[in-house]
Structure 1
Amino acid sequence: MCTVLQAAGLSAAEESTYLSLVRQGSAPLPQLADRIGLTAAGTRRAVAGLQRKGLVHRTPPPQERVVPVPPDLAVEQLVRRRMEELERTREAALRLADEAEHLVSSRSTEELIEIVSGRAAVGRAFDRVQRTARKEMRVLTAPPYAKGTGVNRTQLDREAAGVSYRAVYDANALADPDMAAAAATHLRAGEQARLVETLPTKLAIADRELALLPLAYATAAHDAALLVHPCGLLDALIALFETIWAVATPLALGDDDQPTADNGLTAADRQLLSLLVAGLTDEAAAARLGVSRRTVVRRVQHLMELTHSRSRLQLGWQARERGWL
């Protein structure tokens, strides 16, 4: 049942809410929140989502209750709607692919990929990429760093103009005083930042329009780079960034006003993850930790939201990738 519901588009909170209603019967919102270990606001959001998907309905006040639609009716309807949405998406993707193929085929390789040579030219190209962005810049920041690396003034200007920045830093960045100070300035200006142990390359992407990456991942990377226009390679670079972003640890300013990894984990969370990965049930993990089952469910829900996981299996994978185990 869990796999079916997740595949049909339910969030983890919506799934646990619906399963509780099916297995334990209808309930008022406060009682339902207590059952599933969510906050009142979280329960209201889950119920609202289930209502939109046609899985529950609510009785009139004053004795308002949340009532589940029988699974054989609700899930069939949900799956059918999901399949129709996917079919429309597939048809749109095919039309878009035809258009893209026509556009790309009419452009030469020289128009899709430019080689930039010389340190000054690479610096100008980075500035060009940032000024191309109208909505968002995605940046991977990794060594080797250019001499005198400091605050990105163009970034501050673009952020003031409404362009958002998401940046992932290599762990070595925080060991470099100039880079750490620059990162702190960028965070104060509104940059969303994350940290990973090692990055595979430097990278800067403006919306879905233009990307810049080194021609070689070495000291000479400052002296030669590639500018990539819309094509399959740009799509792959965007996917690379999003994959790294998903497993990276958030960065925030600490009490000393310096960038600090903020994974939101406690020692108890790490112990709980270890127990769950080892195969213990919620009840067994709760007994081992000396807490209630509801506390375990609530902490697991928090960790799933923190890692954007849609299942406990995915949470375990994310925890291992982030070095939490």
Structure 2
Amino acid sequence: MHDVEDIDATAVEVYLLRVRHPADDAERLAARAGLAAGDVARAEALLYGLGLLQPSPAGGWVAVSPESAADQLLAPVEADILARRITMAAAREQLQSLSGAYVEARSMRSAEISIEVVEGIDNTRAVIDDLARTCTESLEALIPGIPSEEAIEAALPLDLELLARGAHIRTLLQHSARSHRTGLRYAETIRAAGARVRSAGVLPTRMLIYDRQCAVLPLDPLHTGAGVALVRDPSAVGFLYRVFDHCWDDGIDIPVTPGALEASEGVPTGLEREVLQLMAAGKANDAIAEQLGISRRSVSRVVSQLMTHLGATSRFQAGARAALNGWLS
């Protein structure tokens, strides 16, 4: 079958001449068009391939309307598309007929097994994908440390799909993620889609809670690829949900532009503000680092920046000047 763009100006001219002069022989038609006989013959062959010309019983060619030519040319393709659609519909209906049995079996599994162990990273991802796609109301997530690029690439599409369906997401990161580009990009992306995102200094473990009905805990907190435990017992899930709420209440909202002093007003924001508040409370660098989940070197660097910015020679003086500036309110 020829593409539409194969119909050039010569073919169009020959076609229209055939419509007006069906009895002309090739030489006469070539003379009318001012074309060589070979050009007319090539154009007629093209038009015949498209179904726009048909051989006349008396010899020569008869022009066919574009509508009739299209019907004849595309009929096999349309028939093939129809057959494929019928096959697809049958396959979809056959697969969807299992939905009721799947939901029933899944509910029975949830009722019978209060704790299910899933081993291996691939199986873990499959289970989390299933939980995310069947979640309808809420997801609470504790994410200690700095999430890896691979983990974010796996989680982000599921989170965005959940939010698009109207589910609520609360994600609690560790303070250390606030100074890392990967963690910030993830936080800002899901927050823009409607999630609530905070960070806290110390998180007990990685944890996901779907619809307040199933909690996902790592089998080995130091090796997330080992697998997960799915906890469905209502009492246990309720306890874990309260643990999440306790951590959430201690968290701090991640600012829109964290990690830098605002040049326009000189007011500390994000991590600098937290360090300043803990300095003013008399916390030493080691205690600040532990509470915020960052390194002592990072704390020392932020403290040095704050002291320089405030023109202070001591931590006490820095706290006093920050209070006078209203930065601690």
TM-score, normalised via structure 1 length: 0.45
Q: In terms of Rg, which structure is larger?
A: 2
TM-score, normalised via structure 2 length: 0.44
Q: Which has the higher contact order (CA 8 A, sep 6+)?
A: 1
